[in-house]
Amino acid sequence: MKKIIIIAMFFSFSFSYICPIHNFESNSFSQKATTSSVIQNHNQKIRNSLQNLIKKEKELQKRLKKKLELSKKLEVLYKNILLEKKKQVFILDKIQKQSAYEILKEK
C-alpha cells in the first residue's frame, strides 16, 4: 500500500513539474487565474459528460423495460399458440379415432 502511495506521489510531482499549468504554487495572478479557469472548464466538461451518461442510462433503462414487456407478451402468445396446437392435435386425433371406429363398424 505504501508503495502505491509513493508511486502516486511521484507521478503527481512529475506531472506538476512537466505541466507547469497545474502548478498551484505559482506567484503570478494571471497564471493562477488561467489554472483556475482551466480547472473550472475541465470540471464543467466532466459534469456535462456525467449528465449525458445519466441521460443515456435512463434511455437504455426505458428501452430495456420495453423489451422486457414485449418479451413477456411474446412468451404469453407463444404459450397460447402451443395450447391451441395441442387442442387441434387432440381434436384431429379424436376425429381419426372416430372415423376409424366408423370404418370398423361398417365392416
CA angle 84, 86, 92 (to 5 degrees): 105
Q: Which of 16, 49, 50, 22 is nearest to 38 (CA)?
A: 22
Q: How confident is the model over 14-56, as pLDDT tens digits?
A: 555 555 554 444 455 556 667 788 888 899 999 999 999 999 9
- The pLDDT of residue 96 is 84
Q: How confident is the model over 58-76, as pLDDT tens digits?
A: 999 999 999 999 999 999 9
- The pLDDT of residue 49 is 92
Per the confidence metrics, is the pTM higher than 0.85? no
- The pLDDT of residue 23 is 47
> How large is the average pLDDT for residues 95-103?
80
